[in-house]
Structure 1
Amino acid sequence: MRVLVVGASGFLGSVVARRAASLGWSVVGTYYSGVVPELDARRLDVTDRAAVGALVAEVRPDAVVSTPYRYDDWTVTADGAAHVAVAAAEVGARLVHLSSDALHGGRPTPYLDDDVPTPVYAYGAAKAAAETAVRAIDPGAAVVRTSLIVGEGSKQIQLCRDALAGRAALFTDELRCPVDVTDLADAVLELVEGTYAGLLNVAGPDAVSRAELGLLVAERFGLDAAGLKTSTAVDVGVVRPAEVRLDSTRAASLLRTRLRGVRELLAV
């Protein structure tokens, strides 16, 4: 298996690349900034359609895992995803595209795999546009909707540490379904080898607020929970979806990888 991981310098992309290599696969990883240690790494600007096409044509992968995004950049998140999908389709490569629960608007009931996007802010709209492009270009692609990604080196865990030290605030009114980075990477690699097409929620079973996640991090690492700084998105004026629970029942029945809940992951 020869796989191209687009965005291999990112948190998830780097783990996908390393775990693919551990399976004995031939792995090529791309980066725009940062480093991709111990891999055949190529610098790539996903907003440059010609460059994306040229690299994919050169590598000739059996599969492409598309993970790049930039929170505040539509061209990277949406246009870049489309460029990767076009290039993968041109060489007949299997495509697994990483999407996000950010494209949902928030509600008390869980979102199913095929629920239509209802974005309420720019990043969510960009992820929704990326999905639309990918599915139109390659109906056989697997499109993975995931949630907060946790694990060693996770930005989410660092944000919790910062809030426990009073350097940041965690919202009590934002609920997500965190997933371990290795669980997610293994699920992605299962999809690379399979034929599943369409949308698939791949997230943890526990719905927790960001503030509750901070308390779990405090307990796990022996930090003082009394120092946890909290607020609400409403009070701060941040426009983001509030309650976003992903129902990952379909993934649990389809995949061998067990998606562990954050309470289990951070248990002392």
Structure 2
Amino acid sequence: MAPRRPSWPRRIDEVLASVAPDAVINATSGQDDWAVTADGSIRLAMAAARRDCHLVHVSSDAVFSGSRIHYGESCLPDPVTPYGAAKAAAESAVRLLAPAAAVARTSLIIGNGGSAHERMVHNLATGTDDGVLFTDTIRCPVHVEDLACALLELAASDRPGMFHLAGPDALSRHDLGVLIARRDGLDPTRLPAGRRADSRVPGALDVRLDSAATQGRIATRLRGAREFLHAGRGRHSGDRG
């Protein structure tokens, strides 16, 4: 018989009691694992509410279907994937259980070479992996440093409500890959292109988070991908740490 694991609620309460934080940022993701992405977020929201701890819950543009393309903070979720459904359920529960929480939806996260999309671009450009970059899947990428600063700002401000933390540039996966390849000194012509609509890969096509209202309420500037990728052009991933 497998050893019995301690219950999540008790473990969460123990950690919060030990650390006694003023705020908690829930940036975990279990992808389409409902127990982690939905149930885990619900348990954390309940624990934070019991201790009057400000919660910043990180959600995703995956809660939207893409049927209307442009999404502001007031748009209601209409997910089309299990991951999106889990994120949408977590959003609803957090807003109900912890009304003072901040729910922050974000988009495709790009870093300094370590994100999943950046690794994919490198693997495709160097021929070490198979696949394509979709030309019809549109998102509003955000740099991980901008996102982190914005989340810390929300945590420190105690502001409740819905926030969108995405960059202003709407780019396809392939266009984003070209920018990453150029920044890192790779040949962008080696990046294979394809259409998600022609594949069996589930998910929304064009989802553009409108972060204008949020940008007017926070000091952190959310840069567009064209800006933060152009700024690092010519630097190789090994030089970025």
SS at match of 1:96: strand
Match of 2:132 in 1: 169
The reply to whether residue 190 of structure 1 matches residue 150 of structure 2 is no
Pick 1 or 2: higher relative contact order, CA cutoff 8 A, min separation 6: 2
C-alpha deviations, 1:165-185, integer Å up to 9, x for none?
A: 342321111000000001000
Residue 104 of structure 1 aligns with an amino acid whose one-letter code is F
Cα distance change of structure 1 residues 265 and 46 upon mapping to structure 2, 3 Å threshold = farther
> How far apart are residue 54 of structure 1 and its match?
2.1
Match of 1:19 in 2: none
Residue 257 of structure 1 aligns with an amino acid whose one-letter code is T
Residue 65 of structure 1 aligns with an amino acid whose one-letter code is I
The within-5 A match list for 1:1-268 is 48-107=8-67, 109-152=69-112, 153-166=114-127, 167=129, 168-267=131-230, 268=233
Cα distance change of structure 1 residues 151 and 46 upon mapping to structure 2, 3 Å threshold = farther
> How far apart are residue 108 of structure 1 and its match?
5.3
Query: Which residues of structure 2 form unaligned runs of 5+?
Result: 234-241
Comparing 130-139 and 149-158, the one that deviates more = 149-158
* Contact map agreement 1:47 1:83 (CA 8 A) in 2: no
Q: CA RMSD in A?
A: 1.6
SS at match of 2:56: strand
Q: Figure out how many residues of one structure are paired with residues of the other and give that number.
A: 224
Residue 121 of structure 2 aligns with an amino acid whose one-letter code is C
Whole-angstrom distance in 2 between the partners of 1:77 and 1:94: 19
Identity of aligned residues (%): 46
Residue 193 of structure 1 aligns with an amino acid whose one-letter code is A
> How far apart are residue 128 of structure 1 and its match?
0.1
> How far apart are residue 255 of structure 1 and its match?
0.8
* Contact map agreement 2:109 2:141 (CA 8 A) in 1: yes
* Contact map agreement 2:132 2:194 (CA 8 A) in 1: yes
Whole-angstrom distance in 2 between the partners of 1:123 and 1:72: 4
SS at match of 2:58: strand
Cα distance change of structure 1 residues 154 and 238 upon mapping to structure 2, 3 Å threshold = same
> How far apart are residue 84 of structure 1 and its match?
0.8
TM-score for both structures, normalised by structure 1 = 0.80
TM-score for both structures, normalised by structure 2 = 0.89
**Runs of 4+ residues over 4 Å off in structure 1:** none
Whole-angstrom distance in 2 between the partners of 1:245 and 1:70: 23
Whole-angstrom distance in 2 between the partners of 1:127 and 1:108: 19
SS at match of 1:118: coil
Whole-angstrom distance in 2 between the partners of 1:72 and 1:137: 22
> How far apart are residue 163 of structure 1 and its match?
2.5
* Contact map agreement 1:183 1:258 (CA 8 A) in 2: yes
Whole-angstrom distance in 2 between the partners of 1:143 and 1:192: 11
* Contact map agreement 2:32 2:86 (CA 8 A) in 1: no
SS at match of 2:206: coil
SS at match of 1:266: helix
